[in-house]
């Protein structure tokens, strides 16, 4: 047979794209082995399918595998499979042109970009399937020998990646594909390692291809105690994808060990979640809820997301696209059978499949927590203690699942000092005629329980949610209601807890108080106008002389402070000063104002009254030294 040898040029666009691949796209040179092993695994899958569909195809599928061979002297690493192989036409079409379509359009966009190097990897790369060309990051020359299953002759392809390649027909090629990399010299500064080192090759296999279905074999030299050297062929990948096994084929101990492997945690997980989606879009997931929160859970540098595999090939360590921020504690793996990736397989395209997987994973995690809440309350208690503050972030970010998040949330309340309550339980305990879910926010439970705002609620026996997480300041306004009951801050708006009969009975007294205190209220409004927008009589105080409240739609002081800490310029929000008309200090101040309105001491008393109201709710004085001086002076006069 006459040997056909040709020297061909890459397409102009393909040549430019090849240089871009080698120098700009891949940030980690180690991924070359992942790409080659992935291609080999695909070839084995296709051969098994072809043999199943074509019973006349004369191929041996009894020992499908991938071989890795190292020639240290020649510095050649070979990745070989006995899969479907390629014909001469396949080689020219798939390798010589890099892509069947889209290359020209890609390069047009590239030329239009003024910051090509920075934008290519993240914005412009499409689906070209050219992972093979990552080989040129580590090799000066690449030789490919392949024979398609069922064909008599094979093809040898060779190139240095510059501009041309040679291709010839060979008679003695084995079935499958072998890629021989003539490796560059080691260069530590360029992160180019010695890929002839056995330990390095095994490390890359374990990192990227440990769970591939097919065995990956490698010859290794062993020296015994007598100094004799022998060569053994060993399988270097485990092939044990725990997520692909049937549920009854894996033990709880194996799940726990796998969790520790992927999470680097030393404790067993609180919950194991298995998922398998079949149909037009298939994927498997094995997720874990840890039993304790990591130290960096609230740090900006915290890594989130699950490990992503495609057909058991490792793609990404922390795939943020698959898990929202408020579930950043969830660990595990997702293995998709058919997923669109960019050329480097490092950045997922935000397509419909990704969004679909994310939605299903989130719903599964939340439903698992809901089941835990009903069936294993102690484990749920641990979960909420460790991750509740994070989960509540979803009330702001995930409107689609807001209802479910509210159902699985728990809160401290005045109903029980030891146990948390769900919103459903709160609603079931509401008094007849109660229209709102009352809540109070603050730094600690003690501050909230001893706040003047709480007095009337304690006296009337109304339950109040005690919210101490910073996120609580934000989500209550965003959510608005639960089960038709609106959330109402006890420190905002006007509160009237009296029944209709009580209101009718107290109405004459209230009208009389308004008239008696009208002069004092007007004067205080003027005297304290720099700090308050209004002074009025209170229905929420029973023992304290005064308190500060916000208008219904005003921002709370804590939220205002939070925004300032983030660098946002916020206008000062003035609040309302409410007075207890039954308190001796307030009635004494009214009498003193009526008798000697011009006395400087009355103005000082007003200043102290405002300061006490501010301190009573855990606020901060604008001028603590002055407050202390005025207070000391007034106390000294009583001695």
Kindly state the percentage of the chain with pLDDT values over 90: 46
What DSSP element (H or E) covers 34? helix 31-53
Residue 485's beta-bridge partner residues?
482
pLDDT band of 130, cuts 50, 70, 90: low
Which has the higher per-residue pLDDT, 11 or 336? 336
Structure tokens given for 445: 């439970």
Classify 365 as helix, strand or coil. helix
DSSP letters, 403-453, are HHHHHH-EEEETTEEEEEEEHHHHHHHPPTT--EEEEEE-SSHHHHHTSGG
Classify 331 as helix, strand or coil. strand
| φ/ψ bin of 232: left (φ > 0), alpha (ψ from -120 to 50), beta (otherwise) | beta
Kindly state the percentage of the chain with pLDDT values over 70: 89
Which pLDDT score is estimated for 19?
67
For 179, residues 6+ apart whose C-beta sits below 8 A from its C-beta are: 36, 78, 79, 80, 132, 135, 142, 143, 144
Judge whether residue 218 has pLDDT over 90: yes
Judge whether residue 343 has pLDDT over 90: no
Classify 263 as helix, strand or coil. helix
Arithmetic mean of pLDDT over the chain: 84
Mean pLDDT to the nearest integer, 236-244: 87
Structure tokens given for 156: 């040898």
Q: Are 441 and 487 in contact (CB under 8 A)?
A: no
Mean pLDDT to the nearest integer, 114-138: 51
Judge whether residue 520 has pLDDT over 70: yes
Judge whether residue 114 has pLDDT over 50: no
Mean pLDDT to the nearest integer, 130-150: 87
Kindly report the backbone phi and psi dihedral angles of residue 459, in degrees, each rounded to the nearest multiple of 5, phi listed first: -60, -35
Structure tokens given for 109: 């966009």
- pLDDT one-digit tens code per residue, 75-92: 999 999 999 999 998 888
Q: How many helices (H) and strands (E) does the chain have?
A: 20, 23
Q: Are 556 and 491 in contact (CB under 8 A)?
A: yes
Lowest mean pLDDT among 25-29, 250-254, 546-550, 566-570: 25-29
Residue with tokens 């024979």: 147
pLDDT band of 22, cuts 50, 70, 90: low
Residue 488's beta-bridge partner residues?
438
Maximum mean pLDDT: which of 110-114, 315-319, 384-388, 562-566 = 384-388
pLDDT band of 122, cuts 50, 70, 90: very low
pLDDT band of 374, cuts 50, 70, 90: very high
Torsion sign (Cα): 169, 174, 179, 184: negative
Mean pLDDT to the nearest integer, 205-214: 87
Mean pLDDT to the nearest integer, 499-527: 85
Mean pLDDT to the nearest integer, 211-229: 85
Mean pLDDT to the nearest integer, 401-407: 96
Mean pLDDT to the nearest integer, 368-387: 96
Mean pLDDT to the nearest integer, 514-518: 91
Which pLDDT score is estimated for 535?
94
- DSSP-derived pairing of the beta strands 76-81 and 164-170: unpaired
Which pLDDT score is estimated for 18?
65
- DSSP-derived pairing of the beta strands 229-235 and 306-310: unpaired
Q: Any idea how long the chain is?
A: 639
Report the interhelical angle of 600-616 vs 584-595 (nearest 10°).
160
Which pLDDT score is estimated for 400?
94
- Of the candidates 25, 35, 42, the one whose C-alpha atom is nearest the C-alpha of residue 132 is 35
Judge whether residue 3 has pLDDT over 70: no
- pLDDT one-digit tens code per residue, 148-175: 998 999 999 998 877 788 999 998 899 9
Burial label for 504, CB within 10 Å (0-12, 13-18, 19+), is: exposed
pTM higher than the cut 0.85: no
Which pLDDT score is estimated for 34?
84
Q: What is d(CA 606, CA 596) in angstroms, rounded to the nearest whole number? A: 14
Q: What is d(CA 158, CA 36) in angstroms, rounded to the nearest whole number? A: 16
Judge whether residue 106 has pLDDT over 80: no
Structure tokens given for 379: 């484990």
Q: Are 310 and 331 in contact (CB under 8 A)?
A: no
- DSSP-derived pairing of the beta strands 532-537 and 575-579: parallel
- pLDDT one-digit tens code per residue, 539-573: 889 999 999 998 877 777 777 777 777 777 777 88
Q: What is d(CA 248, CA 274) in angstroms, rounded to the nearest whole number? A: 12
Lowest mean pLDDT among 234-248, 439-453, 464-478: 234-248
Which pLDDT score is estimated for 16?
65
Residue 436's beta-bridge partner residues?
486
Lowest mean pLDDT among 174-183, 214-223, 344-353: 344-353
- DSSP-derived pairing of the beta strands 176-183 and 76-81: antiparallel
């Amino acid at each position: 047979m006459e040997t056909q040898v040709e020297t061909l040029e890459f397409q102009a666009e393909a040549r430019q794209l090849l240089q871009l691949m080698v120098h700009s796209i891949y940030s980690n040179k180690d991924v070359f082995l992942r790409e080659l092993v992935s291609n080999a695994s695909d070839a084995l899958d296709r051969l098994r399918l072809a043999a199943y569909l074509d019973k006349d195809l004369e191929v041996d599928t009894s020992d499908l595998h991938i071989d890795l061979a190292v020639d240290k002297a020649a510095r050649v690493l070979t990745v070989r499979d006995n899969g479907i192989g390629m014909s001469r036409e396949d080689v020219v079409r798939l390798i010589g042109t890099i892509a069947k379509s889209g290359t020209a359009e890609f390069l047009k966009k590239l030329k239009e970009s003024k910051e090509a190097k920075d934008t290519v990897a993240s914005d412009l790369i499409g689906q070209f399937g050219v992972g093979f060309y990552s080989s040129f990051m580590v090799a000066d020359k690449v030789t490919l020998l392949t024979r398609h299953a069922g064909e008599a002759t094979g093809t040898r392809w060779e190139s240095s990646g510059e501009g041309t390649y040679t291709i010839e027909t060979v008679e003695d090629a084995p079935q499958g594909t072998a890629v021989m990399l003539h490796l560059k010299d080691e260069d530590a500064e360029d992160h180019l390692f010695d890929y002839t080192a056995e330990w390095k090759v095994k490390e890359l296999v374990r990192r990227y291809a440990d769970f591939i279905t097919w065995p990956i074999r490698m010859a290794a030299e062993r020296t015994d105690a007598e100094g004799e050297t022998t060569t053994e062929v060993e399988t270097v990948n485990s092939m044990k994808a725990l997520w692909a096994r049937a549920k009854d084929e894996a033990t709880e101990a194996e799940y726990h060990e796998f969790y520790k492997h992927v999470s680097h945690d030393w404790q067993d997980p609180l919950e194991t979640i298995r998922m398998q989606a079949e149909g037009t879009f298939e994927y498997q997931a094995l997720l874990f809820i840890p039993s304790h929160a990591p130290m960096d859970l609230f740090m900006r540098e915290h890594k989130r997301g699950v490990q992503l595999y495609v057909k058991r090939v490792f793609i990404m360590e922390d795939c943020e696209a698959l898990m929202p921020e408020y579930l950043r504690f969830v660990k595990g793996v997702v293995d998709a059978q058919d997923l669109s990736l960019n050329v480097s397989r490092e950045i997922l395209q935000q397509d419909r499949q990704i969004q679909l997987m994310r939605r299903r994973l989130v719903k599964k995690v939340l439903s698992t927590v809901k089941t835990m809440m009903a069936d294993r309350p102690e484990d749920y208690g641990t979960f909420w203690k460790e991750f509740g503050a994070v989960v509540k972030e979803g009330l702001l970010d995930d409107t689609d699942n807001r209802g479910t998040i509210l159902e699985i949330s728990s809160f401290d309340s005045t109903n029980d000092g030891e146990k948390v309550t769900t919103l459903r339980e709160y609603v079931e305990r509401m008094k007849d005629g109660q229209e709102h879910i009352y809540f109070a926010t603050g730094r600690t439970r003690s501050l909230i329980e001893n706040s003047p705002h709480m007095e009337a609620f304690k006296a009337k026996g109304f339950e109040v949610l005690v919210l101490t997480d910073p996120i609580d300041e934000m989500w209550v306004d965003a959510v608005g209601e639960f089960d038709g009951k609106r959330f109402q801050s006890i420190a905002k708006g006007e509160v009237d807890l009296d029944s209709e009969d009580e209101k009718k009975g107290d109405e004459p007294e209230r009208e009389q108080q308004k008239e008696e205190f009208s002069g004092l209220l007007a004067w205080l409004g003027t005297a304290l106008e720099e700090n308050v927008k209004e002074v009025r009589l209170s229905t929420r105080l029973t023992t304290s002389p005064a308190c500060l409240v916000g208008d219904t739609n005003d921002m709370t002081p804590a939220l205002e402070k939070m925004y300032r800490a983030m660098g946002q310029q916020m206008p000062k929000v003035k609040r309302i000063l409410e007075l207890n008309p039954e308190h001796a200090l307030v009635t004494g101040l009214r009498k003193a104002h009526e008798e000697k309105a011009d006395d400087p001491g009355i103005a000082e008393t007003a200043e102290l009254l405002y300061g006490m109201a501010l301190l009573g709710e855990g606020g901060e004085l604008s001028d603590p030294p002055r407050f202390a001086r005025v207070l000391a002076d007034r106390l000294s006069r009583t001695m």
